[in-house]
Amino acid sequence: MKGKTILLGVTGGIAAYKAATIVSQLTKKGAEVQVIMTESATKFITPLTLQTLSRNNVFIDTFDEKNPEVVSHIDLADRADLVLIAPATANVIGKLAHGIADDMLTTTILAVQSPIFIAPAMNVHMYEHPAVQQNIQILKSRGVRFIEPNAGLLACGYVGKGRLAEPEEIVQAIESFFQRNQDFKGKTFLITAGATREKIDPVRFFTNRSSGKMGYAFAEAVLERGGKVSLVSGKTSLPVPPNAELISVESAEEMYQAVMSQLEKADVIIKAAAVADYRPKIVYDQKFKKTEGEWLIEMERTKDIALEIGQRKKENQFFIGFAAESEDVIERAKKKLKKKNMDMIIANHILLEGAGFEGDTNIVTVLTKEGEQMDYPMMSKKELAHQILNQVKLRLEG
């Protein structure tokens, strides 16, 4: 990070005291840290503390121009290589989502062109509130990156998710960003995500619990690192990663057709979607009416997309699959890796707490065709995606 200018926004929560450690660690790593505090933040930690640690003036008031040669909030925005808001309250997240600029920090952020990282910190119920979650999704859809809060005992006495990530985690996320920036430029990724739906009639369908979060995390991570993404996605409520080419599908057959149409131009294929293995043999044009007795539905196999990719892929293409299992996880993953001609497979035990469908975290074992086995502890799906992409990068470089 030597020579990088990092603009740190500190907002008014009890976790503001951790900003001192963040500033200290960033400065020790060679970064120039410019700090903007909200008025509320100054109630928790003094500007003098952050000024001493950063060796720079701390900005609070938009109208307190410290250098007559520049307009401060524009100058700070222009010079920033990266913006970090830590801690970020529900209030500032809401303002940024809706373009409100009523203080030095929010006014500056509107003028920023560099990457933005936000580390939220608040009460668990505030963090889970639909308005806060919607604001987070709005910002994510614009390319803002979030450093997820930790779960634990909060200052208010509640236990849950909302505690600011530790300063070491935050600094590591920033450092990793600078290290891996643009290392997939010129590479095209074909990523599948989400669940498929197999119709029974106009009302009913079979599906599964996949939220699409792992596939979308891979798409976001690749885009952050300069790669191009074709995202073939089943139905999901997730925002489309900015600059991803989205191909929306519903059934396994539609996903098969979309993947095969994109396969030839892909350098890396990541098959993270949970595709139905079976579909109803008969699909009713009208709603099936309730009758006395049982309703038996005969099922037929869908096309095996992974098997087809493995048969068609060229020598210069890298194929990653998933094995979501509830028993004999490693052995089943090894068989799937070999049978479907994958280069790498990501195996996870779906019954483990913190792993599997719908959650924001995962716990996996990565297996390669060369016989390597790498275990990854519980971490956010976004960070896991980056960790696995680091391994992909090594293999693409030979």
Model pLDDT for residues 201-233, shown as the tens digit of each residue:
999 999 999 999 999 999 999 998 999 999 999
As a whole number of Å, the end-to-end CA separation of the chain is: 27
pLDDT-derived band at 398 (thresholds 50, 70, 90) equals confident
Range scoring the smallest mean pLDDT among 28-42, 130-144, 196-210, 221-235: 130-144
pLDDT at 295 over 90: yes
Share of the chain above pLDDT 70, in %: 99
Across residues 111-130, what is the average pLDDT? Answer: 95
Q: What is the band of 193 on the pLDDT scale with cuts at 50, 70, 90?
A: very high
Q: How confident is the model at residue 179 (pLDDT cuts 50, 70, 90)?
A: confident
pLDDT in tens, 263-278: 999 999 999 999 999 9
User: Residue 26: what pLDDT?
Assistant: 97
- Would you report the helix, strand and coil content of the chain in percent, each value rounded to 5? 35, 25, 40
Q: What is the mean pLDDT of the chain?
A: 94
Two structure tokens written together for 209: 């619990």
Comparing CA positions, the residue from 209, 243, 198 lying closest to residue 223 is: 243
In CATH terms, 5-180 corresponds, of 3.40.50.1950, 3.30.750.80, 3.90.950.20, 1.20.1300.10, to 3.40.50.1950
- Structure confidence at residue 65 (pLDDT): 86
**Same fold across 5-180 and 188-396:** yes
pLDDT top residue among 1 and 21 = 21
* H or E stretch at 32: strand 32-37
Q: What is the pLDDT of residue 181?
A: 67
Question: Is it the case that residue 68 has pLDDT exceeding 80?
Answer: yes
pLDDT at 132 over 70: yes
Residue 353 pLDDT class (50, 70, 90 cuts):
confident
CB 347 within 8 A of CB 376: no
Which residue out of 112, 156, 350, 378 is catalytically annotated? 156
Max CA-CA distance within the chain? 84
Residue pLDDT, tens place only, 312-333: 999 999 999 999 999 999 999 9
Q: Which pLDDT band holds residue 350 (cuts at 50, 70, 90)?
A: confident
Binned at pLDDT 50, 70 and 90, residue 69 comes out as confident
pLDDT at residue 348 in the model: 92
- 201: how many CB neighbours lie within 10 A of its CB? 15
- Write out the two tokens for 274: 């949970």
At 39-55, the pLDDT tens digits run: 999 999 999 999 999 99
Residue range 342-361: mean pLDDT, rounded: 90
Q: Specify the CATH superfamily of domain 188-396.
A: CoaB-like (3.40.50.10300)
Give the residue extent of every domain in the chain.
Answer: 5-180, 188-396
Q: Is 156 assigned a catalytic role?
A: yes
Q: In this structure, what token pair is assigned to residue 377?
A: 């502890």
